[in-house]
Amino acid sequence: MILLDGKKAANEIKDEIKKEVLFLKKKHNITPHLVAILVGSDPASKTYVMHKVAACKYCGIDSSIVELYEGIEESVLLNKVIELNNRKSVHGIIVQLPLPKHIDSRKVTNTISPEKDVDGFHPLNVGKTVLGLPSFLPATPKGIVELLRRYSIQTKGKKCVVLGRSQIVGLPISILLGQKGDYADCTVTLVHSKTENIEEEIRQADILIAAIGKPGYVKKVMLKKDAVVVDVGISRVDNPKAKKGYTLMGDVDFDDVKDVCSYITPVPGGVGPMTVVSLLQNTLSSAKGLIS
Amino acid sequence: MILLDGKKAANEIKDEIKKEVLFLKKKHNITPHLVAILVGSDPASKTYVMHKVAACKYCGIDSSIVELYEGIEESVLLNKVIELNNRKSVHGIIVQLPLPKHIDSRKVTNTISPEKDVDGFHPLNVGKTVLGLPSFLPATPKGIVELLRRYSIQTKGKKCVVLGRSQIVGLPISILLGQKGDYADCTVTLVHSKTENIEEEIRQADILIAAIGKPGYVKKVMLKKDAVVVDVGISRVDNPKAKKGYTLMGDVDFDDVKDVCSYITPVPGGVGPMTVVSLLQNTLSSAKGLIS
């Protein structure tokens, strides 16, 4: 079994980005700038944003956090987004999800200018992704494909099963891996809560992408021998012995499956760091004006 | 075996549209208007456009054909599209494909205003479709879902195999049938030219959507008993005994499979007529201002 070390790959990519950022500054006097909007005080959301900010800093990308209080009116938030759309020095805008319930997340996402939508959530970017046109790919699926590429994992013609049909992970990765091209061209089955024989589907996977948010769900008995396992899940599981009182756990029971698969991502340190660097890559592309 | 009679269903839908068009005229003095752009003189393309025009006429929808010669410059075609985008009395614009090779089809499709893109090919409409937002669904996938609905075919949790990943049929129907909702919620596998065990995949299908353009490809031995078979293919096959010298044939060998499946679409008279009425439904929605 080989570990798909997302942390290591992400560090390599960050160094590549750093060089490009430096070149962009020297040659064109442009510094990429990412703005993250954070509503409310959810600690997990705050942690995610801080990871993104730290990664930006490492790469020489400017970042700002717009912190707004939990009860903010939707219209005020939308106006903030429009203001950032119009600010020329801003190249990427992200809104940390989830938003408070009184705010329509889709409305907010649709308001971000497609040219600055480095999370790739705007319908125009989603459509371009589906059609194989240049666009901002959503960060997690982009990171997964990049991880497969860094480990030269052959995907052409392989059977890929995607567990979970969320709009930000399961659905887009199912589309990307089924498209023509390198590190794509898979035969993809998208499995979800309504699937009748979920284990029978999983057992067919040469490549399994698990993104359902059920800690430890995937067991050895469900897997084909030598499957490639990409674990997107990251849940907090109570653990009185752990310092923080919890352990992070993916959708895959790592210890149970590790001897049966050929490659597997750890949790944490697998898909997570790849997601963050994908966002930085998109921000860099935006600053370079690569994606209109 | 029950025939999924697309012609009959389409005729019912045309009568429903006709009533709505009449109401729209009486109540709001609006007549839906579809413009079809036809470049060159390919007889098959001309036939398709004429079918659409005839269906419009039956329903009381205005239609125009803009006929342009084979060698037209791309820029002239794009300007024509822009002119139609700006004409208030036009509610739907379609460009009959394929276009001559010197013209970039995607550029033309992307130039049609998303509000008038009743074929649902614009990236913004594709993205909205993927996200489950109100949009113009592409005509063939929309017609297939409507046909399943008219025959009350249960899809929830069923295994659906889509043969072919074209951007106008295979890919969007795979997305629609995998979404949440009635006449959706399938477990979908998208199969294509790079798939390793194509027959093994087909054999799992409770619902098979064939859209690869290989006449008579699907045989009885490939099918699960009682599968629902939707045949999108329509190829001309030489037949010296036929009046026109050819016979129309789907991707499925109808005579071979008819005793093994529970439902099947004939070719012609299955998906084809449903595609045409879907286009009319989109044009009507556009005239009603239902889709922004």
In this complex, do A190 and B187 lie within 8 Å of one another by their Cβ atoms? yes
Domain assignment present for B1? no
Residues A63 and A144 in one domain: no
Cα distances (Å, whole numbers) of residue A41 to A38, A69, A79: 8, 8, 21
> What pLDDT shows up at residue A88?
95
Give the residues across from A65 on adjacent strands.
Answer: A36
**pLDDT digits over A92-149, tens only?**
999 999 999 999 999 999 999 999 999 999 999 999 999 999 999 999 999 999 999 9
Angstrom distance (rounded) from CA A187 to CA A209: 13
Angstrom distance (rounded) from CA B189 to CA A47: 36
Cβ–Cβ < 8 Å for B286, B118: yes
Question: Which of B127, B187, B194 is opposite residue A123, by nearest beta carbon?
Answer: B127
Q: Containing H/E element for B231?
A: strand B228-231
The fraction of chain A above a pLDDT of 70, given in percent, is 99
Establish whether A96 is a catalytic residue. Answer: yes
> What pLDDT shows up at residue B27?
94
Domain assignment present for B265? yes
**How many domains, in total, are found in chain A?**
2
Å between A119 CA and nearest CA of chain B: 14
Residues B251 and B160 in one domain: yes
- Among candidate residues A5, A14, A96, A231, the one labeled active-site is A96
Residue A139: closest CA among A289, A37, A268, A284: A284
> What pLDDT shows up at residue A287?
96
Establish whether A281 is a catalytic residue. Answer: no
**pLDDT digits over B183-195, tens only?**
999 999 999 999 9
Domain assignment present for B286? no
Cα distances (Å, whole numbers) of residue A54 to A38, A58, A184: 15, 6, 31
Question: Which of A123, A157, A201 is opposite residue B195, by nearest beta carbon?
Answer: A157
Phi, psi of B235 (to 5 degrees): -115, 150
**pLDDT digits over A222-247, tens only?**
999 999 999 999 999 999 999 999 99
The arithmetic mean of pLDDT across residues B156-174, rounded, is 97
Residues A97 and A160 in one domain: no
Q: Containing H/E element for A7?
A: helix A6-28
User: Vertex A150, ends A216 and A172: CA angle to 5°?
Assistant: 60
**Rounded to two decimals, what is the model's pTM?**
0.96
Domain assignment present for A128? no
Q: Cβ contacts (< 8 Å) between B159 and chain A: which residues?
A: 196-197
List the end-to-end C-alpha distance of chain B, in Å, as a whole number.
Answer: 41
Domain assignment present for A11? no
Q: A185-209 burial, b for 16+ CB within 10 Å, e for fewer?
A: bbbbbbbbebbeebeebbebbbbbb
Please give the sequence-ordered ranges of beta strands (E in DSSP) within chain A, or none if there are none: 2-3, 33-39, 62-68, 92-95, 159-163, 187-191, 207-210, 228-231, 235-238, 246-249, 263-264
> What pLDDT shows up at residue A44?
87
Phi, psi of A146 (to 5 degrees): -65, -35
Residues A148 and A227 in one domain: yes
pLDDT band at B44 (very low <50, low <70, confident <90, very high): confident
Residues B172 and B99 in one domain: no
Residues B157 and B213 in one domain: yes
Q: Cβ contacts (< 8 Å) between B134 and chain A: which residues?
A: none
Cα distances (Å, whole numbers) of residue A81 to A38, B62, B283: 12, 41, 33
Cβ–Cβ < 8 Å for A248, A235: yes
In this complex, do A194 and B106 lie within 8 Å of one another by their Cβ atoms? no
Domain assignment present for A282? no
Nearest residue of chain A to residue B135 (CA atoms): A123
Cβ–Cβ < 8 Å for B53, B38: no
Residues A185 and A78 in one domain: no
**What CATH number is attached to the domain comprising B216?**
3.40.50.720
Residues A188 and A75 in one domain: no
Residues B103 and B148 in one domain: no
- Which structural domain, as residue segments, surrounds residue B71? 28-113
The arithmetic mean of pLDDT across residues B255-284, rounded, is 97
Dihedral sign computed on CA atoms, order B176, B181, B184, B186: positive
Establish whether A179 is a catalytic residue. Answer: no
User: Residue B53 corresponds to which amino acid?
Assistant: V
In this complex, do A188 and B185 lie within 8 Å of one another by their Cβ atoms? no
| Distance from chain centroid for Cα A183 | 17
Q: Cβ contacts (< 8 Å) between A179 and chain B: which residues?
A: 165
The arithmetic mean of pLDDT across residues B151-175, rounded, is 98
> What pLDDT shows up at residue A194?
98
pLDDT band at B206 (very low <50, low <70, confident <90, very high): very high
**What CATH number is attached to the domain comprising B90?**
3.40.50.10860
Domain assignment present for A286? no
**pLDDT digits over B71-83, tens only?**
999 999 999 999 9
Residues A104 and A54 in one domain: yes
pLDDT of B88 higher than 90? yes
Cβ–Cβ < 8 Å for B140, B129: no
pLDDT band at B251 (very low <50, low <70, confident <90, very high): very high
- Among candidate residues A14, A52, A116, A128, the one labeled active-site is A52
Å between B84 CA and nearest CA of chain A: 22
ipTM: 0.95
Residues of chain A with pLDDT under 50: 292
> What pLDDT shows up at residue A291?
55
Across the A:B interface, residue pairs with CB atoms under 8 Å apart total 101
Residues B164 and B239 in one domain: yes
Residues B250 and B156 in one domain: yes
**pLDDT digits over B58-67, tens only?**
999 999 999 9
